[in-house]
Amino acid sequence: MDSAINKVLASGNFIKGTTLDKFEKEFAKFIGVKYCIGVASGTDALHLSLLALNIGKGDEVILPVNTFIATVYAILYTGAKPVFVDIKEQTYNIDVNAIENKLTKKTKVILPVHLYGQPAEMDKIINLSKKYNLAIIEDACQAHGAKYNGKLVGSIGDFASFSFYPAKNLGAYGDGGAITTNSAILAKRLQRLREYGAVNKYTYKEIGLNSRLDTLQAAILLVKLKHLNTWNKKRSALANYYTKKISQHLPFIKTPFINHDSTSAHHLYVIRTSRRNQLAKYLLSKNIQVGIHYPLPLHLQKSLYFLNYKKGSFPVAESVCSEILSLPLYPELTQSEQDYTINSIINFFKH
Ligand SMILES: *Cc1c(COP(=O)(O)O)cnc(C)c1O
């Protein structure tokens, strides 16, 4: 890592250049697509993908109501209207059977999120996209390396957005993101849009953003990409161990659903219990860093008041959000640390 960073420092090339080109090629190859465009963040990756499809005022975009706030903000930045769909209790992903009811003449895009690393049910989404001529943008920000029916996520929709936020499965030393696609035309447009809409220096064809993946981050990601598969396998083994122990000792706690058509990237390990708040407090007091992803479904966020959604609109997400808890999960986690967490949960329920 030191030598990769020092090479960039010595070159003095901090924006674009061969290191970024190389990362884009390697990441495209890893995902199994023709093109990768490095951008400044996962949020920008979503925003730029929508811009490349000319999505804006008057258009509607379908997305799940339980996701990170950036998914809906990216839609709002374009002026389009986000249309939420409830999630499936079993998978926490978008309820594909509830999408068709939400489609209107204005719907242009379905934006599924592969939440916690688990792929959304893409077959049904692809069928809808064909039937109604809709584009698909995958939010793969939590799912680097996840597979659906043998295909890596990020290679299924028209575009996919990845985030390299430090805590993601593939994380930079700061912010970063990428878009993957098989379309040469869209890739070319994205290369313009991430750089002010420039066709060449000081000639602008359209209004774009300043959103490039830093060369330094690309150098860092090139080193880490080589380890991604190994790290994901470790995540998977750790997740299996949690599930085995929890099913054994705490059968009333719901563990993550395993879809046999898919390979999860195991970004997060999320359990479900009605005593979530007390359990979270107890585990934090034992120095176990648990999290909640996410405590409030998006339609109830104050910043989105103008969308006029009411409490009760998405009953599954609302009940799930009050019961989910993410246990520590990262490749370097040890079995004794996992045992400490599991024993602490056992102790909590004993008392
Ligand atoms: C992290 C994340 C994003 C945003 O990525 P940033 O790089 O932080 O902008 C978008 N969607 C989901 C589901 C994410 O987890």
Q: Give the Å distances, CA to CA, from 224 to 15, 76, 209, 228, 269.
A: 20, 33, 27, 7, 22
User: How would you classify the pairing of strands 151-152 and 198-200?
Assistant: unpaired
Check if 139 has its Cβ closer than 6 Å to any atom of ligand 1.
Answer: yes
CA 332 to chain centre: 21
Question: Which atom of ligand 1 has the smallest separation from the CA of 46?
Answer: 10
Pull the structure tokens for residue 87.
Answer: 């999630």
Residue 116's CB is within 10 A of a number of other CB atoms, namely 23
User: How far is the centre of ligand 1, averaged over its atoms, from the C-alpha of 68 (Å)?
Assistant: 6
- The pLDDT assigned to 351 comes to 85
Check if 318 has its Cβ closer than 6 Å to any atom of ligand 1.
Answer: no
Nearest Cα residue to 136 out of 117, 152, 123? 123
- The pLDDT assigned to 260 comes to 87
Question: Which atom of ligand 1 has the smallest separation from the CA of 70?
Answer: 10
Q: What is the pLDDT along the chain (351 residues), one digit of tens a residue?
A: 999 999 999 999 999 999 999 999 999 999 999 999 999 999 999 999 999 999 999 999 999 999 999 999 999 999 999 999 999 999 999 999 999 999 999 999 999 999 999 999 999 999 999 999 999 999 999 999 999 999 999 999 999 999 999 999 999 999 999 999 999 999 999 999 999 999 998 999 999 999 999 999 999 999 999 999 999 999 999 999 999 999 999 999 999 998 888 999 999 999 999 999 999 999 999 999 999 999 999 999 999 999 999 999 999 999 999 999 999 999 999 999 999 999 999 999 998
Check if 118 has its Cβ closer than 6 Å to any atom of ligand 1.
Answer: no
Bridge partners of residue 160, in order along the sequence: 138, 180
User: How far is the centre of ligand 1, averaged over its atoms, from the C-alpha of 272 (Å)?
Assistant: 23
Question: Which atom of ligand 1 has the smallest separation from the CA of 175?
Answer: 7
Of 47, 163, 221, 268, the residue with max ligand 1 atoms within 8 A of its CB, to mutate for a pocket test, comes to 163
What whole-number distance in Å separates Cα of residue 114 and Cα of residue 117?
6
- The pLDDT assigned to 42 comes to 98
What whole-number distance in Å separates Cα of residue 297 and Cα of residue 299?
6
Write the DSSP string, 236-254. HHHHHHHHHHHHHH-TTSB
Question: Which atom of ligand 1 has the smallest separation from the CA of 67?
Answer: 13
User: How far is the centre of ligand 1, averaged over its atoms, from the C-alpha of 74 (Å)?
Assistant: 10
Check if 341 has its Cβ closer than 6 Å to any atom of ligand 1.
Answer: no
User: How far is the centre of ligand 1, averaged over its atoms, from the C-alpha of 141 (Å)?
Assistant: 5
Of 141, 142, 173, the residue with max ligand 1 atoms within 8 A of its CB, to mutate for a pocket test, comes to 141
Check if 211 has its Cβ closer than 6 Å to any atom of ligand 1.
Answer: no
- The pLDDT assigned to 64 comes to 98
- The pLDDT assigned to 259 comes to 87
Nearest Cα residue to 153 out of 178, 120, 175? 120
Residues 320 and 226: beta-carbon distance below 8 Å: no
User: How would you classify the pairing of strands 159-163 and 177-181?
Assistant: antiparallel
What whole-number distance in Å separates Cα of residue 195 and Cα of residue 44?
12
Residues 178 and 164: beta-carbon distance below 8 Å: yes
What whole-number distance in Å separates Cα of residue 123 and Cα of residue 108?
18
CA neighbours closer than 13 Å in the CB half-sphere of residue 322: 8
Check if 141 has its Cβ closer than 6 Å to any atom of ligand 1.
Answer: yes
